[in-house]
């Protein structure tokens, strides 16, 4: 099989969302108000703070969607059996990472008393499911993915109470929830699998537009129509206010906040409207960015080519910087060791900084990580064929 040319617009988009993702995580560890209220709380937030949080909504859906697209592109040079085996192994590896290296990066807790299932878990399970689904007819994969995304909000009012296996299973499928497993261990399911698996399956199907049978002009036209259609569908469904998100929008004291309420869609689990308003603009960006080769875009593409390397490093760097910030403001390093989510820690009452500090730290994190990612990108390109493990980081 002929190896297809790398799609640099995908690297560019992935690089952008990796940069934006770091902003959200810096905000968690540094912003004083993050310890007091949700940045999308209409009664307390500001316009700047709302969009500081809202723009990061693009990260997870784009990351999973493009993971599906990348799987399709890998499949252009592998057999279905080879691709299925690769996705299965990579999926298991990602789940292991979530429970160990990623967990420690978030909490610095050697007891691992807070077990969290976040985006890397969803990515891993998505790959495991996709490993099986690629053997289905293409239309079946597309239909299943679309049904997950479109139909899952019909189950928003269905809940399984308690801490038993049934409740935990349902939470893994569709409900954002935590469970005490014992006196010392707590399970928090932040990324229920539906519709994240569906997003990855749709991303896999989306990869067909990057086959050599599609000329760039034809692909651009299709992506423009598709992205515009998803955005228009978001506006229509959101305006009707009857389905697609468990939290309807409402008129606010002023027009600006009414717009914020309209945009304030649900991420946990991602509602249909959340998926539409994030993937629609992402697809539009892919439509217009295939010929972006400027100096800045080339640097961003570096981050997009090594997303897992960047992801792991940025968590540890942000947390270490937060330890330094705590020490400089009168707290102990141990206060940055958690058995709760960061912003729920009782040891950090009064801790935190203004939003402009968050932005300074965020930019600094990206600038520190870039040369490391550049080195790894070069190393990976040179050694990919001789070192199999490079395809897993």
**pLDDT (mean) for 349-354:** 96
Checking if the pLDDT of 225 tops 60, the result is: yes
Confidence of residue 1 (pLDDT cuts 50, 70, 90): very low
CB 340 within 8 A of CB 178: no
Annotate 105-140 with DSSP letters as a single string. HHH--TT--EEEE-HHHHHHHHHHHHHHHTTS-HHH
CA distances from 268 to 57, 144, 191 (A): 11, 20, 7
* 88-118 pLDDT, tens digit each: 999 999 999 999 999 999 999 999 999 999 9
Checking if the pLDDT of 233 tops 60, the result is: yes
pLDDT cut 70: percent of the chain above it: 98
Q: Please name the residues in contact with 14: beta carbons below 8 A apart, sequence gap of 6 or more.
A: 62, 63, 66, 303, 304, 307
Per-chain mean pLDDT for the chain: 95
CA proximity to 59, closest of 355, 307, 390? 307
Distance CA 252, CA 262 (A): 10
**pLDDT (mean) for 51-76:** 97
Confidence of residue 154 (pLDDT cuts 50, 70, 90): very high
* 183-216 pLDDT, tens digit each: 999 999 999 999 999 999 999 999 999 999 999 9
* 368-389 pLDDT, tens digit each: 999 999 999 999 988 877 777 7
CA proximity to 287, closest of 212, 206, 213? 206
pLDDT cut 90: percent of the chain above it: 94
Neighbours of 380 (CB within 10 A): 16
Checking if the pLDDT of 2 tops 60, the result is: no
Q: What pLDDT does residue 393 have?
A: 81
**pLDDT (mean) for 249-276:** 97
Q: What pLDDT does residue 392 have?
A: 79
């Amino acid at each position: 099989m002929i190896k297809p040319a790398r799609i640099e617009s995908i690297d560019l988009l992935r690089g952008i969302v990796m940069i934006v993702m770091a902003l959200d995580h810096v905000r968690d560890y540094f912003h004083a108000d993050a310890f007091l209220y949700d940045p999308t709380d209409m009664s307390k937030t500001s316009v700047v703070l709302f969009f500081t949080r809202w723009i990061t909504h693009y990260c997870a859906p784009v990351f999973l969607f493009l993971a599906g697209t990348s799987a399709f592109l890998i499949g252009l040079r592998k057999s279905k059996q080879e691709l299925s085996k690769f996705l299965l192994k990579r999926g298991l590896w990602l789940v292991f990472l979530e429970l160990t290296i990623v967990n420690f990066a978030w909490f610095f807790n050697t007891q691992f008393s807070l077990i969290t299932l976040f985006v890397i878990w969803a990515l891993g399970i998505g790959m495991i499911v996709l490993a099986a689904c690629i053997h289905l007819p293409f239309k079946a994969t597309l239909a299943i993915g679309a049904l997950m995304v479109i139909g899952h909000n019909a189950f928003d009012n269905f809940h399984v109470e308690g801490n038993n296996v049934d409740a935990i299973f349902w939470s893994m499928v569709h409900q954002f929830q935590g469970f005490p497993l014992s006196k010392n261990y707590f399970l928090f399911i932040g990324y229920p699998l539906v519709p994240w698996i569906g997003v990855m399956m749709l991303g896999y199907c989306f990869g067909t537009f990057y086959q050599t049978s599609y000329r760039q002009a034809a692909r651009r036209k299709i992506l423009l129509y598709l992205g515009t259609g998803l955005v228009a569908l978001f506006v229509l469904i959101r305006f009707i206010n009857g389905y697609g998100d468990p939290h309807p929008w409402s008129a606010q004291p002023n027009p600006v906040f009414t717009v914020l309420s309209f945009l304030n869609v649900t991420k946990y689990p991602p509602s249909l409207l959340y998926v539409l308003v994030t993937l629609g603009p992402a697809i539009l960006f892919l439509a217009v960015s295939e010929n972006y080769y400027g100096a800045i875009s080339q640097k961003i593409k570096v981050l997009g080519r090594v997303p897992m390397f960047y992801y792991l490093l940025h968590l540890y760097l942000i947390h270490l910087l937060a330890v330094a910030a705590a020490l400089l403001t009168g707290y102990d390093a141990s206060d940055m060791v958690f058995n709760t989510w960061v912003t729920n820690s009782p040891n950090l009452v009064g801790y935190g900084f203004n939003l402009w500090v968050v932005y300074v730290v965020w930019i600094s994190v990206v600038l520190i990580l870039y040369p490391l990612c550049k080195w790894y990108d070069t190393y990976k390109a040179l050694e990919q064929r001789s070192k199999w493990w490079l395809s897993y980081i």
